Amino acid sequence: MASEDINRVVGEIGLRHGRERWRLMDIVRDVQERLGAVGPEAVDAIAGWLGIARVEVEGVVGFYSFLSSGQRGRVVIRLCDDVIDRMAGYDAVRAAFEGALGVKVGETTPDGEFTLERTACIGMCDQAPAALVNDVVVTNLSSDKARVIVRMLRDQKDPSKLVHRFGDGNNSHPLVRSMVENNLRKAGPIVFSGQTRGEAIRKALAISPAEVIRAIKTSRLRGRGGAGFPTGMKWEFARAAAGDRKFVICNADEGEPGTFKDRVLLTELPDRVFAGLTIAAYAVGAAEGIVYLRAEYAYLRRFLEQVLEKRRADGLLGRSVCGKPGFDFDIRIQMGAGAYICGEETALINSCEGLRGEPRNRPPFPAQRGYLGCPTVVNNVETLACVTRILEAGPATFCERGTHQSSGTKLLSISGDCTLPGVYEVDMGITLREVLELCGGEDAAAVQVGGPSREMVGPAEFHRTIDYDDLATGGAVLVFGPDRNIVEIVSAFMEFFVHESCGFCTPCRVGTVLLKEKLDRVIAGRGEPKDLEDMLELAETIKQTSRCGLGQASPNPVLMTLRSFRPVYDALVKPDPHGYRRGFDLQASLREAERVAGRGSQQHQEGVP
């Protein structure tokens, strides 16, 4: 496309979003969608429009998986390659797509029509293998389906035509029109207690903000996003923080592999979530709210926009919410662009400001200085739905469920080797064994609770409970049957962290790569007993010295399985009977030497004169 055209397109998109720097994410996303790339000309045009350095724009484009400086096809097919999808047949599906398209993963067809990519968990593990075709979600894939999809895309050119049936509930809503299934297997009395008609907000507005915070504290609600911080206390900090302008943010980034409960909640009960965010705003004194929606859930966006529109019409958002003088509040949706790290609240805030999604240092905490430097509360989707129920039914009703330290219910996203994968609302404190009975996963040989960041548990520990004292989880429960290869799973988890590290700090950026290399050497049968000790040491260093939760959790797959599944590793690293160093791979070493030798001359060509 000619430069003038690129300038014109960027100009149009820029006009729509304005000139404030924090609109950068929206602008680059739209440019990517219109032009198939944010190339050098577009970067210059965007930088000029916002009055920032082009390297800042380039930095953002280069950070997020869904943005690219190189031209992508008109249709981008993103295959979800998480562990569950691999178990469900990812390799065959990938091969079928590659065959039908005539390109490999990571490539674009010569006619510029299709790009085939892999992507981290897209939140569809209960209907794996799954993929995104532009914004359209396709699920339960097989090789045959893959070929049909390619044929249909070639004939009809329009990914939305792939939708030949609708999923249940609001998945058939005219603004959603998706094949995604909710698979809501168990609705409980708190989160999935039905629609809300504004009772919760009216009850909140009838009392003072301090009393709202007291009610939340009485409920002992703790964050459902994983960290488990007491919600009432977080709100109190933000309320007490100095500043006229405050923000509340709903974290709908849901990126932990194996987690998809927020997707179902947003599909079926968005009003409960928005009500919770409105109550949070009232409690802390915020006038502006943001929902940070992961790019993978873009298919829900227009629907959610309409729900917000309806709430404005009903007086539940806007000036004087519910007629309460002085309480003005509105919500906007901020789309992500493919980065797991943006679920971390300070990275999320940076992303909302149009920056690379790198976490910030703490202190200051978001409640002191967050979005645009203002006191900011970030809460998970489910946490906010709990808030609505607490105001509606009272803290006591909430506390009737769960345990003292972990009150209420918890949504679980269950997938893998079980007969009934899907979303379950269970009481906090439930044992893993009970969970496995519910979902038909009694044969499990291992369960990953909380996704790759957390813990792998074997049968001897199925008596353990899901709550903040024992197995704390954002909700992911990945069930692995007896035939699964534990170390392969661990390696796939490590691959996820390598891919999703933001790269800001040394231990996570480099350490995860080194740890995965060592692990893969052990898996390949080239490890020695000492390698396991080295892995433990390296894992500990990464865990301790990483700058944020991602890096700190990244060695957990290795650490947890070395603890609970040690015999699997020991069997792989039997000392060599001939006393040879097993770690030494002659072929690979020669390859490496060749590569190094070849590099000197290559550098001259690559280097800019």
Partner 1 sequence: MSDRFTITVDGREIPAAPGQTILAAAQASGIYIPRLCHMDGIEPVGACRVCTVRANGRVVAACTQPATASMVVQSQTDELVSWRRQLVEMLFVEGNHFCMFCEKSGSCELQGLAYRLGIAAPRYESIWPRREVDASHPDIILDRNRCILCGRCERTSRDLDGKHVFGFVGRGIHKRLAVNARARLADTGADVTDLAIGACPVGAILRKNRAYRTPVGDRPFDREPIGAPVETRAELTINGGPAS
Ligand X SMILES: Cc1cc2nc3c(=O)[nH]c(=O)nc-3n(C[C@H](O)[C@H](O)[C@H](O)COP(=O)(O)O)c2cc1C
Decide if residue 117 touches ligand X (CB under 6 A). no
Query: Interaction with partner 1 in 494-513: which residues (CB under 8 A)?
Result: 498-507, 509-511, 513
Tell me the backbone φ, ψ of residue 390, rounded to 5 degrees: -65, -40
Decide if residue 373 touches partner 1 (CB under 8 A). no
Decide if residue 546 touches ligand SF4 (CB under 6 A). yes
- Mapping DSSP to helix (H, G, I), strand (E, B) and coil, where does residue 247 land? strand
- Mapping DSSP to helix (H, G, I), strand (E, B) and coil, where does residue 602 land? helix
Question: Smaller CB distance to partner 1: residue 39 or 270?
Answer: 39
Ordered DSSP codes for 391-460: HHH-HHHHHTSB-SSSBSEEEEEEEESSSS-EEEEEETT-BHHHHHHHHT-TT-SEEEESSTTSEEE-GG
Question: Smaller CB distance to ligand X: residue 303 or 497?
Answer: 497
Decide if residue 334 touches ligand X (CB under 6 A). no
Show Cβ contacts of residue 412 under 8 Å, excluding neighbours closer than 6 positions: 261, 423, 424, 425, 426, 435, 466, 473, 475, 476, 477
- The window from 160-168, 308-316, 379-387, 396-404 that contacts ligand X (CB under 6 A) reads 379-387
Select from 41, 82, 345, 425 the one that contacts ligand X (CB under 6 A). Answer: 345
Say if CB 483 and CB 498 are below 8 A apart: no
- The window from 9-17, 400-408, 501-509, 600-608 that contacts ligand SF4 (CB under 6 A) reads 501-509
Question: Smaller CB distance to partner 1: residue 434 or 534?
Answer: 534
Our CA angle for 9, 135, 139, nearest 5°, is 165
Decide if residue 548 touches ligand SF4 (CB under 6 A). yes
Question: Smaller CB distance to ligand SF4: residue 119 or 501?
Answer: 501
Select from 39, 159, 225, 276 the one that contacts ligand X (CB under 6 A). Answer: 225
- The window from 28-36, 372-380, 446-454, 545-553 that contacts ligand SF4 (CB under 6 A) reads 545-553
Q: Which of the choices ligand X, ligand SF4, partner 1, none does residue 401 contact, using the CB cut-off of 5 to 8 A by kind?
A: none
Say if CB 163 and CB 172 are below 8 A apart: no
- The window from 57-65, 68-76, 250-258, 571-579 that contacts ligand X (CB under 6 A) reads 250-258
Q: Which of the choices ligand SF4, ligand X, partner 1, none does residue 356 contact, using the CB cut-off of 5 to 8 A by kind?
A: partner 1
Decide if residue 548 touches ligand X (CB under 6 A). yes
Residue 43: CB minimum distance to ligand X, A? 28
**What is the rounded distance in angstroms from the CA atom of residue 142 to the CA atom of residue 103?**
18
Question: Smaller CB distance to partner 1: residue 120 or 436?
Answer: 120
DSSP classification of residue 222: B
Select from 78, 94, 547, 582 the one that contacts ligand SF4 (CB under 6 A). Answer: 547
Residue 426: CB minimum distance to ligand X, A? 18
Sheet holding 75-80, edge to edge: 114-119, 75-80, 131-133, 136-138
Show Cβ contacts of residue 50 under 8 Å, excluding neighbours closer than 6 positions: 14, 19, 20, 21, 23, 24, 27, 57
Tell me the backbone φ, ψ of residue 249, rounded to 5 degrees: -125, 135
Query: Mapped to the 3 state alphabet, what secondary structure does 67-122 carry?
Result: CCCCCCCCEEEEEECCHHHHHCCHHHHHHHHHHHHCCCCCCECCCCCEEEEEECCC
- The window from 157-165, 287-295, 370-378, 497-505 that contacts ligand SF4 (CB under 6 A) reads 497-505
Distances (CA, A) of 38 to 41, 47, 66, 259, 402: 8, 12, 11, 30, 49
Instruction: Assess whether the previous peptide bond of 364 is cis (omega < 30° from 0).
Output: yes
Residues facing 293 on adjacent strands: 252, 335
Decide if residue 38 touches ligand SF4 (CB under 6 A). no
Long-range Cβ contacts of 8-15 (<8 Å, 24+ apart): 9/34, 9/35, 9/42, 10/42, 10/45, 10/46, 10/49, 11/45, 11/49, 14/46, 14/49, 14/50
Residues facing 80 on adjacent strands: 119
Distances (CA, A) of 90 to 80, 255, 498, 500: 8, 19, 20, 20
Residue 511: CB minimum distance to partner 1, A? 6
Q: Is the dihedral of CA 261, 262, 264, 265 positive or negative?
A: positive
- R_g over Cα of the chain: 25
Residue 576: CB minimum distance to ligand SF4, A? 35
For the record, the structure tokens of 89 come out as 């047949």
- The window from 42-50, 240-248, 385-393, 500-508 that contacts ligand SF4 (CB under 6 A) reads 500-508
- Mapping DSSP to helix (H, G, I), strand (E, B) and coil, where does residue 308 land? helix
Q: Which of the choices ligand SF4, ligand X, partner 1, none does residue 84 contact, using the CB cut-off of 5 to 8 A by kind?
A: none
Question: Smaller CB distance to partner 1: residue 359 or 395?
Answer: 359
Closest C-alpha among 163, 176, 156, 91 to residue 128 = 91
Decide if residue 556 touches ligand X (CB under 6 A). no
Decide if residue 356 touches partner 1 (CB under 8 A). yes
The contact pattern for partner 1, residues 304-343, with x = CB under 8 A and - = no contact, is -----------------------------------x----
Query: Interaction with ligand X in 382-441: which residues (CB under 6 A)?
Result: 383
Question: Smaller CB distance to ligand SF4: residue 167 or 551?
Answer: 551
Residue 551: CB minimum distance to ligand SF4, A? 2
Question: Smaller CB distance to ligand SF4: residue 67 or 339?
Answer: 339
Q: Which of the choices ligand SF4, partner 1, ligand X, none does residue 255 contact, using the CB cut-off of 5 to 8 A by kind?
A: ligand X
Say if CB 119 and CB 64 are below 8 A apart: no
Decide if residue 34 touches partner 1 (CB under 8 A). no
Select from 258, 359, 370, 441 the one that contacts ligand SF4 (CB under 6 A). Answer: 359
Show Cβ contacts of residue 582 under 8 Å, excluding neighbours closer than 6 positions: 525, 526, 527, 528, 573, 576
Give the CA count within 13 Å in the CB-facing half-sphere of 350: 21
Query: Interaction with partner 1 in 527-546: which residues (CB under 8 A)?
Result: 537-538, 541, 544-546
Decide if residue 365 touches ligand X (CB under 6 A). no
Decide if residue 499 touches ligand SF4 (CB under 6 A). no
Query: Interaction with ligand SF4 in 296-355: which residues (CB under 6 A)?
Result: 341
Residue 447: CB minimum distance to ligand X, A? 20
**What is the rounded distance in angstroms from the CA atom of residue 282 to the CA atom of residue 327?**
7
Residues that bind ligand X (CB under 6 A): 223-227, 229, 251, 253-256, 341, 343-345, 378-380, 383, 548-550
Residues that bind ligand SF4 (CB under 6 A): 341, 358-359, 501-505, 508-509, 546-548, 550-551
Residues that bind partner 1 (CB under 8 A): 40, 44, 53-56, 58-59, 61-63, 339, 356, 361, 363, 498-507, 509-511, 513-514, 517, 537-538, 541, 544-547, 592, 595-596, 599, 602-603, 606-609
